[in-house]
Amino acid sequence: MLELATINKEIYVPGFNENSDIYVDESPYKPYQRKCIEFECRCKAGSSFYNNASYKQHIKSQTHKDFIENYSKYYKEVDEAFETINTLKVENEILKRKLQNRDNKIEKLEKQLKEIKNLMNDSDSEFEDCL
């Protein structure tokens, strides 16, 4: 039986060493991990790795070493911008839901107010002859 396999690819982002203030390679995989996600590296078009062994082989290339040296110059701001965008999208969705809840409450209260006004108008006409 043939099954469709989903291919999960993520973009590789190196780790930041705060002590030396440079970007360093950190393996995204655990040793002997199975069913690994494939990572795509931006050091060269079409460059990717799919397990710890291929990752270790990939980081030895001169192209990748140059990529890591110049990461803060070319890619740091882009990655931070994507992270900010995702955070703002989440916050926006939360605020939209709160606004929708408040709109629903306002609509419900306006409906109740209208019913109360109708009841008061009906009761006023009922007791007019008592005045």
pLDDT, tens digit, 9 for 90 and up, residues 4-63 = 666 668 888 888 888 888 888 888 888 888 888 888 988 888 888 888 888 889 899 999
The answer to whether the CB of 47 falls within 8 A of the CB of 40 is yes
What is the tens place of the pLDDT at every residue in 91-115?
999 999 999 999 999 999 999 999 9
Q: Clarify whether residues 34 and 45 are in a common domain.
A: yes
* Measured distance CA(6)–CA(20) in Å, rounded: 39
The number of domains in the chain is 2
Q: Clarify whether residues 45 and 29 are in a common domain.
A: yes
User: Which residues constitute the domain of residue 99?
Assistant: 76-125
For residue 21, being part of any structural domain is answered with yes
Reported pTM: 0.57
Q: Is the pLDDT of residue 129 over 80?
A: no
Chain Cα centroid distance, residue 84: 9
Q: Clarify whether residues 1 and 35 are in a common domain.
A: yes
Helix, strand, or coil (residue 114): helix
